Amino acid sequence: MVFSSFVFLFVFFPVVFLVYYALPKKFRNAFLLLSDLVFYGWGEPVLITLMLGSIVFNYFVGLLLERFDGSDKKRKAVLIVSVAVDLGLLAFFKYADFAVRNVNAIIPAANLALPRIPLPIGISFYTFQIMSYTVDVFRRETKAQHSIVAFGTYVSLFPQLIAGPIVRYRDVDDQLQSRRENLPQISRGVQLFLLGLAKKVLLANPMGALWDELRAMPNGGALAAWCGVIAFSLQIYFDFSGYSDMARGLGNLFGFSFLKNFDYPYVSKSITEFWRRWHISLGTWFREYVYIPLGGNRKGKARQIVNILIVWMLTGLWHGASWNFVLWGLYFGVLLMLEKLFLLKVLQKLPAVFSRVYALVLVALGWVLFYFADDVGGFAALKAFVPRLFTGGLLSADAASVLLSVVPLLLIAFVACTPLIRKGYDRLSGKKLFPVLQTAAVAAVLLLCTASLVSDAYNPFLYFKF
């Protein structure tokens, strides 16, 4: 189930919200767990058993880690087994086809049949969440959860189940046991949810349509190709950050608060800064559970470089089972390394305009690499597209017509990438008319989003595949 669908907005959410608040506190987690399962099973009626299995397995892992408190050896063994199982399942369900394709490419004689394993929705997200639990229990940074209902609720919590943010167990441990839902939090939740919905429906979807349209104009000209790349960059940002906002807002509506996942990444002045602002929960996860355990920067420059490359290769691979993602990860790994070595110092001396353009262009080129995964033609399609950025005239008449009709929307999207709207909102918040404006904005977002969803069958979430 996706948030920007009728079934979620007008059936699932109202029912769950009403029942949740009608129930006494002690039943709320159990009801939430039940709702999570309906939410997940809606799109994944069969592989829901896999998630349930993971929940039960890791619940006992937590208990065992606690039970073997005296024996580090046993604890280590338990952790290794659990990590192997969790990553094994992720590898099997996400990467088996990819692995077989590669084996076949290297040894054509092998000619293995593709297993064609369906990718369970959200497995990349919930596996990482589960590991943040087991590893933290192992590190004694958090206590084992004794209630399987609370643990199951954590893993499968519907707001962040299918597209993040990746919530660390220790960040919500307290909230799972006791949270106080209250009105200010609920209205914050409504605002965040609608902000996310608007980003997704009113900006990401049209930007996606624009990217599709421009991409389908091979003779559109270089400017059209660049505008296509810009449109995709905007689409992926509004899509993903919109989803995170909706997730955080829904969390608020049920008494949870999750950490921010995006912080205006497109205003960054370096790639280093970009990755502190983009998909923050993923970066945090990799830092804490991969980079630092590998030694981070404590074992010398050479080792640090190797560590960075490993982390970024894995980050790339996490985004999808296709070589372009690995390349995309390494691309950023190399850029980050260069910045660490000398570039960051140079950038700081340059005027802000230069460093902003530098970061934006490199990120946008990264998105080109990111877009052309195997399922949309892979490297062949990438190789066909890249020359379009530099050759073939400036702008065809058709492409100009398409672009002309989206200029106002593009301008809105540009502004929406910056903190300007937020600042204006905060400045207005003391004013007398503010409640009226707020109400009008909420009504407009609801009406326009519904209108767009009714009109538009074009509603796939990009981050659904992960």
Partner 1 sequence: MKKKLKFPPLFTAVFFLFCFGMSLLLLVLPKQTFSETEKRNLAAFPKFSFAALADGSFTRDFETFLSDQTPLRRFFVSLNAYADLALGNNGGNGVYRGRDGWLLEKPFARDNHFADNTGRIVRFAQKTTVPCTVMLVPTKSSVYTDKLPKNHLRYDDFKTIEAAQTACEKSGLRFVNIGERFLAEKDRTALYYKTDHHWTSAGAFIAYAALGETLGYEPTAADAYSVEKTPNFYGTSYARSGYTLTKPDSLEVWRSKQTGGRATVTIVENGKETKADNLFFADRLNTGDPYTVFLDGNHALETIETGAGGGRLLVIKDSFAHCLVPFLAEHFSEIVTVDLRYYKKPVTALMSETAFDQVLFVYGADTFAENKIVLR
By annotation, the residues acting in catalysis are: 319
Q: Using DSSP, state whether 166 is helix, strand or coil.
A: coil
Q: CB under 8 A: which stretch of 77-85, 131-139, 187-195, 414-422 binds partner 1?
A: 187-195
Closer residue to partner 1 (CB): 338 or 451: 451
Verify binding: residue 39, partner 1, rule CB under 8 A: no
Residues near partner 1 (CB under 8 A), total = 49
Pick from 267, 438, 464, 465: which binds partner 1 (CB under 8 A)? 438
Q: CB under 8 A: which stretch of 88-96, 109-117, 189-197, 350-358 binds partner 1?
A: 189-197
Closer residue to partner 1 (CB): 168 or 179: 179
Pick from 181, 212, 288, 398: which binds partner 1 (CB under 8 A)? 398
Report CA-CA distances (Å) from 117 to 53, 96, 113, 372. 18, 7, 12, 21
- Binding to partner 1 by CB under 8 A, coded x per residue (else -) over 105-144, reads ----------------------------------------
Pick from 187, 348, 391, 429: which binds partner 1 (CB under 8 A)? 187
- Binding to partner 1 by CB under 8 A, coded x per residue (else -) over 402-421, reads x-xxxxxx------------
End-to-end CA distance of the chain: 15
- Binding to partner 1 by CB under 8 A, coded x per residue (else -) over 18-37, reads x-------------------
Render the burial of 260-289: b for 16+ CB within 10 Å, e for the rest. Answer: ebbebbbbbbbbbbbbebbbbbbbbbbebb
Residue 111 Rama label (left phi>0; alpha psi -120 to 50; beta): left
Q: Which of 287, 279, 273 is nearest to 344 (CA)?
A: 273
**Ordered DSSP codes for 206-242:** HHHHHHHHHHT-TTS-HHHHHHHHHHHHHHHHHHHHH
Other C-beta atoms closer than 10 Å to the C-beta of 247 total: 27
What's the CA gap between 153 and 242, in Å, rounded? Answer: 23
> What's the burial of 353, exposed, middle or buried (CB within 10 Å: 0-12/13-18/19+)?
exposed
Q: CB under 8 A: which stretch of 158-166, 173-181, 309-317, 453-461 binds partner 1?
A: 453-461
- Yes or no: say if 67 and 75 are a contact pair by the CB < 8 Å rule: no
Contact residues toward partner 1 (CB under 8 A) are: 5-7, 9-11, 13-15, 17-18, 42-43, 45-46, 183-184, 186-187, 190-191, 194, 397-398, 401-402, 404-409, 435, 438-439, 441-443, 446-448, 450-457
